[in-house]
Amino acid sequence: MKVKERRAGGPFLFDQALSRMRGNLIVEIGAIRDGRKVAEAADGWSTKKWADTGMEVICVDTSEAALKTTKRVIGPRDNVSYYCVDGLELLRYFVRPIDLLYIDGPNPDEDGQEFARLCVWLAPMAPNSIILIDDCDFSDDGKGKTAIPLAQEMGFRLVTKGRQALLIRFDDPEFNPSDCAGIQ
């Protein structure tokens, strides 16, 4: 699936994901690479969104330049730590339960589909946690093509899908799925 075959980009689902968070640890794979103002619409500036919550944010990217840009865009934050490492390497050795995993990273027409699937497979997710996968608005679901079915097999439910796929694992009986509109 080529990037140019993308359907019209829908809104970012950052707020929808955050409003359903139960814990305090956000792991983001893929930092802000374009610090120009226009990038706020095009790229999302996801790290800023997570950082503004005050929750703990771990941001990883293979590009030193992207991490530098991200630090410049969001300014000094005590709650954000940065690692220049492959997202899969981080997740392979990560042991803390993750409350929100944001999978961005490589494009679907690079190795993004397999990358996203492996992220879902490797990530130690917390009870009632959230996986948000970027670039799913392609006719074949883009980065979500195999990652979404795997997450569903692993107990996550697809809450909504547009530009991103939002999946939640409902382990806590007190966490009523009907509170989440649009559950599939």
- State which residue, 103 or 125, has the beta carbon closest to ligand SAM: 103
Using rule CB under 6 A, residue 62 touches ligand SAM: yes
Using rule CB under 6 A, residue 99 touches ligand SAM: no
Q: In the complex, what is the shortest distance from the CB of residue 47 to ligand SAM, in angstroms, rounded to a whole number?
A: 7
Q: In the complex, what is the shortest distance from the CB of residue 75 to ligand SAM, in angstroms, rounded to a whole number?
A: 15
Task: Give CA torsion, residues 73, 61, 110, 154, to 10 deg.
Answer: -110
- State which residue, 84 or 128, has the beta carbon closest to ligand SAM: 84
Q: What are the percentages of helix, strand and coil residues in the chain, rounded to 5?
A: 35, 25, 40
Helix ranges (DSSP H) in the chain: 14-18, 39-42, 46-52, 64-74, 87-93, 113-122, 147-153
Coil, helix or strand at residue 78 = coil
Coil, helix or strand at residue 139 = coil
Chain positions 118 to 157 lying near ligand SAM, rule: CB under 6 A, are none
According to CB under 6 A, which one of 99, 104, 137, 141 is a site residue for ligand SAM?
104
Coil, helix or strand at residue 36 = coil
- State which residue, 57 or 159, has the beta carbon closest to ligand SAM: 57
According to CB under 6 A, which one of 26, 31, 132, 136 is a site residue for ligand SAM?
31
Q: In the complex, what is the shortest distance from the CB of residue 2 to ligand SAM, in angstroms, rounded to a whole number?
A: 16
Using rule CB under 6 A, residue 29 touches ligand SAM: yes
Tell me if 134 sits within 8 A of 104, measured CB to CB. yes
Using rule CB under 6 A, residue 165 touches ligand SAM: no
According to CB under 6 A, which one of 18, 23, 43, 122 is a site residue for ligand SAM?
43
Residue at token pair 């961005």: 104
- Residue 83 β-bridge partners: 60
The site for ligand SAM (CB under 6 A) is made up of 29-33, 43-46, 60-63, 66, 86-87, 104-106
